[in-house]
Amino acid sequence: MKKSPWLLYAFITTLFFGLWGALISEPEKAGFPETLIYVVWSLTMIVPAMFALRHVKWKLDTDKKSILYGSIIGFTGAGGQLILFTGAIEHGPAYLIFPIISLSPVITILLSVIFLREGASKRGWVGIALALLAIPFLSYQSSSGTSSDYLWLIYALLVFLAWGIQAYFIRFANKIMKAESIFFYMMITGLLLSPIALLMTDFSVEINWGFKGPYLAFLIQILNAIGALTIVYAFRYGKAIIVSPLTNAVAPVLTVIISLILYHVFPHYIILIGMGIAVVSTTILAFEEGS
């Protein structure tokens, strides 16, 4: 493990993201708006950010490139979170949303091939093709559904795009700046988008301010905040083309299993096929190192 610290960080990320994905909608079901859940999430980012900066004796990278890359990483990550909370989770179930988002390494790999001239093997292209094939299966709706039912898919695809771009920039930002600085900018940009979430909140309706509201939201969102920090460390010590698919391969599986146990929902067999394709795709991509 000392020789491969990225594996430990990737394991923590996978575990925490899987639990977070399954529990993410609980506060909303209890009457706490998704917009305020985003605000709580942005606040939870402060805790691991301060812990990380303390680890490097509060030495923050403040040169122009670090600020630029940190901002891009932060806004794509926080923007994806805002869309996830205010759009995707409101219109669709977690067990469908997260398998689609888990395919975001496709974006990371494609950008690396196009802009960094990295090679992908035939196996890698098979993984990418399967990932794209999985999306229509995962987005299947019964004949009784309406067009509005597909809003969750649009939002999920936007998060899929944003987080794929974020991982691409984390890939080489780690080469010019400390991982702790990357996470600090992720925390700052998350807080900067909080006023937007507050403006989107309808305070005229009754809001649950009890334990199942902001307090439960904090306990759930801290899982994501810690996972976000550990994935930055995983990118620091491991190859993004491996770390990104690997962490995305198992976390949604945990989300699906936990969600099905908690909510007793068994998806249509077409959706199950999509889940299977997605898992095969991300597993293939997890072992794709490029040329």
Residues of 130-161 as b/e, b for ≥16 C-beta within 10 angstroms? Answer: bbeebbebbbbbeeeeeeeeeebbebbbbbbb
Provide the residue range defining the domain that includes 250: 30-286
- Residue 58, sorted as left (phi over 0), alpha (psi -120 to 50) or beta, turns out to be left
The span from the CA of 76 to the CA of 274, in Å, is 26
In a domain, 235, yes or no: yes
Q: What's the confidence (pLDDT) of residue 147?
A: 43
Contacts made by residues 151-154, CB under 8 angstroms, sequence distance 24+:
151/87, 151/91, 151/92, 152/87, 152/88, 152/90, 152/91, 152/92, 152/93, 152/96, 152/97, 153/92, 153/100, 154/87
Q: Using one digit for the tens of pLDDT, what is the confidence trace for 49-74?
A: 999 999 999 999 999 999 999 999 99
Residue with tokens 């609980």: 26
Q: What's the confidence (pLDDT) of residue 139?
A: 62
| Tokens at 237, concatenated | 């010590």
| Tokens at 14, concatenated | 């996978």
| Tokens at 158, concatenated | 């936007």
In a domain, 22, yes or no: no
In a domain, 171, yes or no: yes
Domain count, the chain: 1
Is there a contact between 281 and 131 (Cβ–Cβ < 8 Å)?
yes
Is there a contact between 131 and 106 (Cβ–Cβ < 8 Å)?
yes
In a domain, 20, yes or no: no
In a domain, 130, yes or no: yes
Give the residue ranges of the chain where pLDDT is below 50: 1-2, 143-148, 289-291
In a domain, 93, yes or no: yes
pTM of the model: 0.81
In a domain, 161, yes or no: yes
SS3 track for 248-279: HHHHHHHHHHHHHHHHCCCCCHHHHHHHHHHH
In a domain, 24, yes or no: no
Query: What is the chain's alpha carbon radius of gyration, rounded to the nearest angstrom?
Result: 18
Q: Using one digit for the tens of pLDDT, what is the confidence trace for 247-276?
A: 766 677 677 778 778 877 677 788 788 778
Q: What's the confidence (pLDDT) of residue 246?
A: 67
Q: What's the confidence (pLDDT) of residue 143?
A: 47
Q: What's the confidence (pLDDT) of residue 141?
A: 56
